[in-house]
Amino acid sequence: MDKRAIVIEEAAAFLSSWLDGRKPIAGIILGSGLGELANEIEEAITIPYVMVPGFPAATAVGHKGNFICGKLGGKCVLAMQGRYHYYEGYPMDTVVLPIRVMIKLGIKYLLVSNAAGAMNKSFSIGDLMLIRDHINLLPNPLIGPNLDEFGPRFPDMTCAYDLDLQDRMLKIAKKQGVKLQRGVYVSCTGPTYETPAEYAFYKAIGGDDVGMSVTPEVIVARHAGLRVLGMSVITDVAHEVGDDYVTDENEIVRQADLASKKMTSLFRELISTL
Ligand code: HPA
């Protein structure tokens, strides 16, 4: 058996015993911007990543490192409070391990959130952006022997972000009076923020915002046929040499927290429709 499959199997068996018969239908990655959602999960069971066999402790700023299982919008969900980033030095197999474990536990949907910097000049700090497509500039997490039990060697990525879920989310945002941008997310390794020339490059290749996560998780979810929704909170904007502006991680976390309420409300309503 593939070593990765054994790790996934053991972690899923451990979590399953903790879940005590609960059957989550959706996984939610609470990146920067959705922290608030964790407080709204009812009848919550919290399982720190460090307790799960094969899981290292999360280290990124603003990321706690817990699975939280409970009810949201009347549905059973499994939320990840914090994620593993490639820039932390984890191999890609570790970055996507929690997603594969949630897939093993039977989730059918993956809802992903993240903080991002905007190249699109019509976006402002504090805006939410529904991800309609992505450009993956991180190493592809499917490199290596294919895990056939999850999906095919060469997965199609035409509709990585589910069109029906996007449509529902746009309607929910309209109803709630929340401004929702839509665009293409570019992932890069980080941990440096972009130079002005890099922002210009990402814009030129078709990106609207840029961050350091999301795409590995979405690729692995799509490999297994899950339906995916992604949303960024715009925490900073591309800038030029000479602008009186410095990208600052504390400010990014602050901006993400400020957007948390409206993002949580959108996600809750979407989940109620699943
Ligand atoms: N670049 C990369 N990652 C980010 C940014 C950014 O501007 N903002 C939040 N995460």
CATH of residue 121's domain is 3.40.50.1580
Q: What is the pLDDT along the chain (274 residues), one digit of tens a residue?
A: 899 999 999 999 999 999 989 999 999 999 876 778 999 999 999 999 989 999 987 666 555 789 999 999 999 999 999 899 999 999 999 999 999 999 999 999 999 999 999 999 999 999 999 999 999 999 999 999 999 999 999 999 999 999 999 999 999 999 999 999 999 999 999 999 999 999 999 999 999 999 999 999 999 999 999 999 999 999 999 988 878 788 888 888 888 888 888 999 999 999 999 9
The DSSP element (H or E) to which 223 belongs, if any, is helix 215-223
- Contact between 80 and 28 under an 8 Å Cβ cutoff? The reply is yes
Between the CA of 69 and the centroid of ligand 1 the distance, in Å, is 28
Residue 54 CB contacts under 8 Å (≥ 6 apart), including other chains = 7, 8, 10, 11, 97
Please tell me the predicted confidence (pLDDT) of residue 84. Answer: 92
- Contact between 40 and 72 under an 8 Å Cβ cutoff? The reply is yes
65 lines ligand 1 (CB under 6 A): no
Question: Collapsing DSSP states into helix, strand and coil, what is residue 251?
Answer: helix
Q: 195 lies in which domain range?
A: 3-272
Please tell me the predicted confidence (pLDDT) of residue 200. Answer: 96
**Contacts of range 142-148, beta carbons closer than 8 Å, 24 or more positions apart:** 142/219, 142/220, 142/223, 143/92, 144/93, 145/2, 147/2, 147/4, 147/5, 147/100
> By C-alpha distance, which of 117, 261, 253 is closest to 177?
261
Distance from chain centroid for Cα 137: 16
Residue 135 DSSP code: E
Between the CA of 247 and the centroid of ligand 1 the distance, in Å, is 8
Question: What are the tokens at 213?
Answer: 């996560």
Atom 2 (ligand 1): residue with closest C-alpha?
211
Instruction: Give the Cα separation of 267 and 127 in Å (integer).
Output: 15
Please tell me the predicted confidence (pLDDT) of residue 241. Answer: 85
Whole-prediction pTM? 0.95
Please tell me the predicted confidence (pLDDT) of residue 129. Answer: 97
236 lines ligand 1 (CB under 6 A): yes
SS3 content of the chain, % helix, strand, coil (to 5): 35, 25, 40
234 lines ligand 1 (CB under 6 A): no
212 lines ligand 1 (CB under 6 A): yes
247 lines ligand 1 (CB under 6 A): yes
Number of domain units in the chain: 1
Instruction: Give the Cα separation of 79 and 28 in Å (integer).
Output: 5
Instruction: Give the Cα separation of 207 and 252 in Å (integer).
Output: 19
- Contact between 203 and 226 under an 8 Å Cβ cutoff? The reply is no
Please state at what angle helix 97-104 crosses helix 3-19, rounded to 10 degrees: 60
Please tell me the predicted confidence (pLDDT) of residue 48. Answer: 92
Please tell me the predicted confidence (pLDDT) of residue 45. Answer: 95
